[in-house]
Structure 1
Amino acid sequence: MAKFKGATWRPIASNYRPGGQSSVRGLVVHIMAGTLTGTDSWFRNPAARASSHFGTGKSGALTQWVDTADRAWAQADGNSSWLSIENEGKGGDTLTSAQMDRIADVLAWLHRTHGVPLQVASGPSGRGLGWHAMGGAAWGGHTSCPGPRIVAQLPEIVARAKRLAGSPPADKPKPVYAPFPGVDYFRRHPRSPLITAMGKRLTAEGCGRYASGPGPQWTEADRKSYAAWQRKRGFGGADADGWPGKSTWDALRVPAA
């Protein structure tokens, strides 16, 4: 595994297990209940029996104490398969934007190097960005670490990591268009939201000038507007008589109600 080049490397001499990291399910967010300087000092005390792979300061400093190939002592049963990141602050705090950026930096790097998915983890058996309390008693029973206000920030951290990793944006939903109801539908001069939607499409296409405005009933003014649109789009003959046909309807693309 590796050291993260974006962090200041400050290795500790004890309080971790060399070569003990069996896998990397993701990154666990902690709160220090103290300062970055104080935590650095504590991790160097053999009596601490605690450590973390990474730590952030409120101003955006990022420290790495333990190589990701080694097992830090941060979340009990979660130590063998999760990496850890402590954050300067106390219970009830929110992370600063700079801290969120540093966590996102590490998460994006773990995505590239270890295949960690860019998502909020569903629990100890999940993968992605987790938090200490999600492990319950098996992870030491620290139910207030890092606190609900920080847990609420995790989706934004994931979003920042996605931008760093160059993840493609989510696909936009494909538009759904109303199916052609048949020309007889219009010959009956119906009143319906479909006619209003159709009038709005004709107006958007610059062919609504024959009507007083998109209304719910098919009228002679709408037929003239439709004929003008048919001619504008190059339809001729029976396809330019002002009555919707299958080909011209599909070309107009009226949104489904």
Structure 2
Amino acid sequence: MAAPLTADRLVAALRAEGVTVVEHDGWRTHNRNHAGDWGPVVGVMIHHTVSSGTAASVRICNDGYEGLPGPLCHGVIAKDGTVHLLSAGRANHAGGGDPSVLQAVITETYGTRPPAPREHQGSAGAIDGNSRFYGFECINLGNGVDPWPPAQLLAIERVSAALCHAHSWGARSVIGHSEWSDWKNDPRGFGMPAMRERVQRRLGQDPAKPKPPTTTPTKPPAYEPFPGTSFFRSAPSSPVITAMGRRLVAEDCGRYKTGPGPRWTEADQQSYAAWQRKLGFSGTDADGWPGRASWTALKIPKSR
């Protein structure tokens, strides 16, 4: 989970990844921030427009329609791979979705696919995806026949990798709309597991640089395994505590007057409680004693 990128940082991240960007008039302030939260963000969501033609598709996604005002995404990915930026804030693209999917994206612990969604916009257990995901609409009729040109698929890969690079996410932070809501089927015509593989390969190299002729499989980042709650209750002194504290500070949850340091202190517990609340935990689940789910979500680099 992270604070959303500013408009300037969003453009810079996309261009650094080799994305061809068109900035539409007013896109930096065109948003739905008055309708709900924007952030913290956890990932990227890919859609298809069920439309054809760049100009018409961009207009619909920018303006919206009766019952669903625009912007309907942060950017439209055209058939030629050009990305048309329409918003740098909250957009009406994801709607309600499944909390188990959200947790799987936060922790990036699922396999080929996140758990099958069982919620949708308006269902009793749905949670707001517009506050949590960047959304990109890809121009396609969504009928399973309309082709996906290589340039468009490459742009989807680059856009996804750009945001993953910017937030230190892995490819499992990139999902399709159909993986979020049981009402949706987009994007139709290519598989999100294969797209995540493409994104993960790109994350193993420098932005905007061509892949070398031969590559070595990229090792995933090494994170500290959960040492168990009893580890913290023993007031340990460990480099793991220092690494944890640095991540809490990076997530704007630090409650330290000095440090963080290797010794577990009350400041560590207060900081960790702030992190648990940021994840949506409350009561005894946000008492500052680390649990497996919140620890996994924090993604603490493994001590050397």
Question: What is aligned with 1:145?
Answer: 186
Are 2:173 and 1:116 aligned? no
Give the equivalent residue in structure 1 for 2:217: 170
Cα deviation per residue 1:114-160 (whole Å; 9 max; x = unaligned)?
2221x2x3xxxxxx1100011124xxx21x21125343541353145
User: Larger deviation: 83-92 or 9-18?
Assistant: 9-18
2:183 is aligned with 1:132: no
User: SS at the partner of 2:11?
Assistant: coil
Conserved? CA contact 1:36–1:88, under 8 Å: yes
- Structure 1 residues not aligned, in runs of 5+: 122-127, 173-257
Secondary structure of the residue aligned to 2:137 is: strand
Relative distance call for 1:41 and 1:171 in structure 2 (3 A) is closer
CA distance in 2, matches of 1:162, 1:171: 9
Classify 1:39/1:170 alpha carbon distance in 2 versus 1 (closer, same or farther; 3 Å).
same
Name the SS of the counterpart of 2:154 in structure 1. Answer: helix
Instruction: Say whether the 8 Å CA contact 1:27–1:107 is kept in structure 2.
Output: yes
CA offset at residue 66 of structure 1? 0.9
Query: Which structure ranks higher in relative contact order (CA pairs < 8 Å, sequence separation ≥ 6)?
Result: 2
The CA deviation at 1:52 is: 0.3
Partners of 1:4 and 1:23 lie apart in 2 by 19
Identical pairs, percent = 20
Across the aligned residues of Structure 1 and Structure 2, the Cα RMSD in angstroms comes to 2.9
Counterpart CA distance in 2 for 1:80 and 1:46 is: 18
Q: Secondary structure at the match of 1:84?
A: strand
Amino acid at match of 2:85: Q
Mark the runs of 5 or more structure 2 residues left unpaired by the alignment: 16-20, 96-127, 220-304
Say whether residues 1:72 and 2:91 are aligned partners: yes
The CA deviation at 1:15 is: 5.7
Alignment partners' CA distance in 2, 1:40 and 1:116:
28
* Paired residue secondary structure (2:84): strand
Matches within 5 A, 1:49-64: 49-50=69-70, 51-64=72-85
Distance in 2 (CA, whole Å) between partners of 1:20 and 1:165 is: 33
Match of 1:155 in 2: 196
- When normalised by structure 2's length, the TM-score is 0.45
Q: How far does residue 104 in structure 1 lie from its aligned partner after superposition?
A: 2.1
Q: Structure 2 vs 1, CA of residues 108 and 46 (structure 1 numbering), >3 Å: closer, same or farther?
A: closer
Number of residues paired by the alignment?
158
Cα 1:161–1:150 shift into 2, 3 Å: same
After superposition, the C-alpha distances for 1:77-105 in whole angstroms (9 at most, x for unaligned) are 21111111111111114532111221222
Q: From the superposition, tell whether residues 46 and 89 of structure 1 become closer, same or farther in structure 2 (CA, over 3 Å).
A: closer
Partner of 2:48: 31
Partner of 2:22: 8
Greater C-alpha Rg: 1
Provide the rounded CA distance (Å) in 2 between the counterparts of 1:37 and 1:98.
Answer: 18
C-alpha separation in 1, matches of 2:200 and 2:218: 15
- What TM-score, normalized by structure 1, do the two folds share? 0.53
